[in-house]
Amino acid sequence: MNNGFIYPFFDALVRLMYYCNLVEFFKFLAKLSSGVLHKRSGGELSTQDKTRSSNIAIDIYQIFKFGVLFLLWVCEASGVFPKLVIYYLLFSNLFTYFYYHVWGSKYGQRVDRDTLNRKFLNSLLAILYYLLCYAYLYGIHYSHMIGWPDNLIDTTNAIFLSVANAFTLTYGGFSPLTQEIRVVFMSELINTFLFFTVIITNSIPNHAGKEDL
């Protein structure tokens, strides 16, 4: 046991979470479909084809997860299942960047200009997504656990609370009324910390040495 037993256990747990991550299912389906099309045309699926399929799958997943969030928000879905769906998507959102940018996947990482810019754009979308997810949770699921300024519960106030809690550590006239909502507030702060101090530092494009003068 050269690595002890804590690291191998955690690494196995990370691998398990990888296979439970919905975006990987989207990528698997995209590669499978691309492989079938190439076989029908008599060609072989190249590494470039696999990368293109994965990128398309990631884009489709981006639209899917934003679509699910907005659908639940517009419908004001407040049951247990919608809340669990959002928590899963929040976890998937964070885990994807942790796995590929911090923990280290088994795949080689490209460093060309388009890939770096794409990675940066996806990181910004991930931050926007978790901010909107928490706004949805505050406005729909936990509104009764929060003291709202002038008792006005609306989308603008929910988004403001999410952004204020994530970036300023102040609630701007809002007040947590229960221990449960305090835990939710803390989870958003942890999300922010992980994105900005661990993940984003590995996602900002660095084009040094990649441009022709």
One digit per residue, the tens of pLDDT, for the chain of length 213 reads 677 888 889 989 999 999 999 999 998 888 888 777 767 666 666 777 778 888 899 999 999 999 999 999 999 998 999 999 999 999 999 888 888 877 776 655 666 777 778 888 888 899 999 999 999 999 999 999 999 998 899 999 999 999 999 987 677 788 999 999 999 999 999 888 888 776 666 655 555 555 544
Q: What's the pLDDT score for residue 111?
A: 63
Output the pLDDT for position 205.
55
Q: Tell me phi and psi for residue 154, to 5 degrees.
A: -145, 175
Q: How far apart are CA 107 and CA 177, in angstroms?
A: 46
Q: Whole-model pTM?
A: 0.86
pLDDT at 44: 67
What pLDDT, on the 0 to 100 scale, is given for residue 154? 92
End-to-end CA gap in the chain: 50
Which residue type occupies 137?
A: L
Q: What is the gyration radius of the CA atoms in the chain, in angstroms?
A: 20
Phi and psi at 184, nearest 5°, equal -65, -45
